[in-house]
């Protein structure tokens, strides 16, 4: 994809947060998305409120990600 933008108006995107994975259906959510609630996927599929989650850490060597506010392209640097 070719663009004529100079990408001078960049916005640094926040690092991906650690997530929680449901031990039953393996749905992954951030702690903010989950809150103090049960797994929404398990509840919708089975009607059971399951609270068993395991942490899934974000990659340590995450690359910095930027988005050009002028053209919308995403730019990722090496980690």
Q: What is the pLDDT of residues 34-69, one digit of tens each?
A: 988 999 999 999 999 999 999 987 766 667 888 999
Residue 67 CA to chain centroid, in angstroms?
A: 16
Structure-token pair, residue 25: 């259906």
Q: Which of 3-7, 23-27, 35-39 has the lowest mean pLDDT?
A: 3-7
pLDDT tier, 2 (very low <50, low <70, confident <90, very high otherwise): low
User: Which of 17, 18, 23, 49 is closest to 36 using CA atoms?
Assistant: 49
Distance from CA of residue 4 to its chain's centroid? 30
Residue 17 has pLDDT above 80, yes or no: no
pLDDT above 90 coverage of the chain, percent: 48
């Amino acid at each position: 994809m070719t663009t004529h933008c100079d990408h001078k108006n960049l916005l640094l995107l926040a690092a991906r947060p650690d997530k929680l994975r449901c031990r039953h259906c393996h749905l992954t959510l951030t702690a903010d998305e989950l809150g103090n609630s049960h797994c929404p996927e398990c509840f919708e599929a089975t009607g059971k409120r399951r609270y068993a989650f395991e942490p899934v850490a974000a990659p340590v060597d995450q690359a910095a990600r930027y988005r050009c506010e002028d053209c919308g392209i995403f730019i990722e640097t090496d980690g």
